[in-house]
Structure 1
Amino acid sequence: MRIERLFNILLYLLNHQKVTAAQLSEVFQVSKRTIYRDIDTLSSSGVPLFTVLGVNGGIQLMENYRLNRFTFSEAEKNILIQSLNTQHTLIETDKATELVYKINLLQEGEQTSAFQVNFTEATLHRGSIERDVQNKLSAIQTAMSVGEKIQINYIAGDGTTTKRIVQPLELLLKDGSWYLSAYCELRKSQRLFKLTRIRSFEHLPLKNDYLSKDDLMVETPNLTTIELQFEKNQLGKLYDYFLEKEMSLCDTCINVRFKYDSRKNILPFLLMFGSNVKVIAPIALKNSYQDEVKKMNES
């Protein structure tokens, strides 16, 4: 028990410039005499503590000890720089560039990197589309940082256009495209919006109705089991989407069984395989897939 208290006292001192024995006594629910004994124990263990007398006095750590505990190593600085460079590649921000510059100034000796990761082609967009998406990413980040809602004109996959007021929650890079996860006031629930389909938006004045994450309704996935059958020549492609344990290889085909959120539309994914896939279960999905294929053949 005492060892735990000694450790917690040290953490408390690291996070506070100066504290009195009375404060420590109240925080740790022991007498001031016990606190003084603990301080003596820490000092004899090599922790550079000293006591300042007087009205504004107290117990504190030597400043260089505090700095040493919170200074990043060269390897840690490199990791931070690589992470910031990655963020800047995906989402162009002046803040990331400025922070990389500041960390570089703190590096000692020759700057080295353990590894490099290139995300310059992380999306499926052409260059001109990517620049438009980057502008939207920057504007949405600004709204999120100050707690603003935005009003968007959104075009769904079927061409339907709606005007919505949304509260941005997070940005997602998914399947080669950027999405905005936001609380939609029109649908009264959390929704995903593809950034390329947000045709216009405007920042709305700050109000007091901005919902916290605790206030938002968190939708739990409604998982259902899907069974598919593929031609054997699709094996390489299947490893892009399924785990080995979800696949069963037969002499003439590949059977796949996996869980999927039934609230999401899986038909576009299935149509990507053309005639190389058959839906086995559930029956409702099998019928929907056959209807979609029939429409395509008739068009």
Structure 2
Amino acid sequence: MSESRLFKIIYHLLDKGRASAPELAEVCEVSVRTIYRDIDMLSGAGIPIYANTGRNGGIRLQDHFMLRNAILSEKEKQEILMGVQSLSAIQYPAADDILMKLGAVFQTAQANWIEVDFSRWGSIKEKEQKVFDILKQAILERKVIRFTYYSSSGNTLRRDAEPVKLLYKDKSWYVFAFCPEKSDYRLFRVSRMKEIVLTGKTFEMKAESSNLVLPIPEDLGALLQLELSFPDECGYRLYDTFDESAISKTESGYKVQAALPENEWLYDFIMSFGDKVTVIWPERLKDNIIQRYENALRHYRKEQ
């Protein structure tokens, strides 16, 4: 007999209140006869489950029944604890208390298997954690935030936003939020958000927000197909940045073929390799990098 099927029956009854045997058979993908055997087994195990006939009959649990932890296997208990541990690692409210209580109920040692540190290397951890605490409170309590935003175009903007969720993408944290000024949803990069405060205003979550495809940040730039080559000594940096499928080994080093957004990050990244990178394609990218180096030389020569 499947323990997971017994749990599914109990969960369904807790959720619906009552159900017919054919309904449970369809949910569990077994025969009605098997469901009645399962009901007998649950009843014999001390679960207060009843089958009544008549117009308002059906299978139900005793009122105020609470699921005991005995129905869970040791593996399932550990998976639940590990899930709550994940919430604790990202400082979810009251997760530590929940973890402690579940550990006592399950009589199972807590698995301290994950730790998350939002702060960047060289930063003040407490300061960055405060930012995430504000954003977390704003999302959970539906509070409007106000912040100064430094865009890649060089503009400094003061914005209000209705935050929906935090998103971690490509080594950066973003806030997915509705921007009243633009009357649309936007992704704001957290590292560019400064002076973040709660305005005291609340907002109603818009129904469409859960079904939206996350937008690409406005300042990300269009994707550019490129091909680069690097010597052997640059391998570690390539695997820090690119998916393994984009990197191929050559006799003299590595070749990278990828589609990356053409923005300041791309030029900064390529130029950070100095003479340890060769742009194979496109030629336009190589010409733009040459122009940037020439501009830098003119700047420093002018200072001399």
TM over 0.5: yes
**Aligned-pair CA distance for 1:222:** 5.6
Instruction: Output the CA distance in 1 between the equivalents of 2:204 and 2:240.
Output: 45
CA deviations on 1:106-164 (whole Å, 9 max, x unpaired) are 1226x263x733444x6424352x21221121111121123333221122356532111
Instruction: Output the CA distance in 2 between the equivalents of 1:182 and 1:144.
Output: 9
Aligned counterpart in structure 2 of residue 43 of structure 1, from 32, 36, 42: 36
Aligned counterpart in structure 1 of residue 190 of structure 2, from 171, 194, 199: 194
Instruction: Output the CA distance in 1 between the equivalents of 2:234 and 2:285.
Output: 21
**Amino acid paired to 1:100:** L
**Aligned-pair CA distance for 1:227:** 0.9
Q: Which residue of 2 aligns with 1:205?
A: 201
Determine if the alignment matches structure 1 residue 117 to structure 2 residue 110: no
Instruction: Output the CA distance in 2 between the equivalents of 1:41 and 1:239.
Output: 53
CA deviations on 1:195-246 (whole Å, 9 max, x unpaired) are 4642233335234584632675644796442111222321232222234442
Once structures 1 and 2 are overlaid, which stretch shifts more, 167-176 or 140-149? 167-176
- TM, length-normalised to structure 2: 0.69
Question: Percent identity at matched positions?
Answer: 20
**Amino acid paired to 2:194:** I
**Amino acid paired to 1:140:** L
Determine if the alignment matches structure 1 residue 99 to structure 2 residue 98: yes
Matched position secondary structure for 1:67 = coil
Aligned counterpart in structure 1 of residue 177 of structure 2, from 169, 178, 182: 182
Alignment of structure 1 residues 2-17 onto 2, 5 Å: 12-13=12-13, 15-17=15-17
Instruction: Output the CA distance in 1 between the equivalents of 2:67 and 2:151.
Output: 53
Long gaps (5+) in structure 1: 1-7, 29-37
Contact preservation (8 Å) 1:190, 1:217: no
Instruction: Output the CA distance in 1 between the equivalents of 2:203 and 2:119.
Output: 35
Q: Which residue of 2 aligns with 1:3?
A: none
Matched position secondary structure for 2:147 = strand
**Aligned-pair CA distance for 1:185:** 4.2
Alignment of structure 1 residues 149-164 onto 2, 5 Å: 149-156=144-151, 160-164=155-159
Q: Which residue of 1 aligns with 2:4?
A: none
Aligned-residue CA RMSD (Å) = 4.1
Instruction: Output the CA distance in 2 between the equivalents of 1:248 and 1:216.
Output: 36
Q: Which residue of 2 aligns with 1:274?
A: 274
Long gaps (5+) in structure 2: 1-7, 25-30, 44-48
Alignment of structure 1 residues 120-139 onto 2, 5 Å: 120=117, 123-126=119-122, 128=124, 130-139=125-134
**Amino acid paired to 2:140:** S
- TM, length-normalised to structure 1: 0.70
Instruction: Output the CA distance in 2 between the equivalents of 1:156 and 1:167.
Output: 19
Determine if the alignment matches structure 1 residue 285 to structure 2 residue 285: yes
Contact preservation (8 Å) 2:179, 2:186: yes
Alignment of structure 1 residues 232-251 onto 2, 5 Å: 232-251=232-251
Matched position secondary structure for 2:126 = helix
**Aligned-pair CA distance for 1:63:** 8.4
**Amino acid paired to 1:60:** R
CA deviations on 1:234-287 (whole Å, 9 max, x unpaired) are 123222223444233333342211122457842232233233122222334333
Instruction: Output the CA distance in 2 between the equivalents of 1:11 and 1:219.
Output: 37
Instruction: Output the CA distance in 2 between the equivalents of 1:164 and 1:192.
Output: 10
Q: 1:165 to 1:286 in 2, by over 3 A?
A: farther
Contact preservation (8 Å) 2:147, 2:158: yes
Matched position secondary structure for 2:290 = helix
Contact preservation (8 Å) 1:93, 1:138: no
Contact preservation (8 Å) 1:180, 1:195: no
Q: Which residue of 2 aligns with 1:169?
A: 164
**Amino acid paired to 2:75:** A
Contact preservation (8 Å) 1:123, 1:177: no
Matched position secondary structure for 2:98 = helix
**Amino acid paired to 1:199:** E
**Amino acid paired to 1:270:** I
Instruction: Output the CA distance in 2 between the equivalents of 1:83 and 1:143.
Output: 23
Contact preservation (8 Å) 1:123, 1:176: no
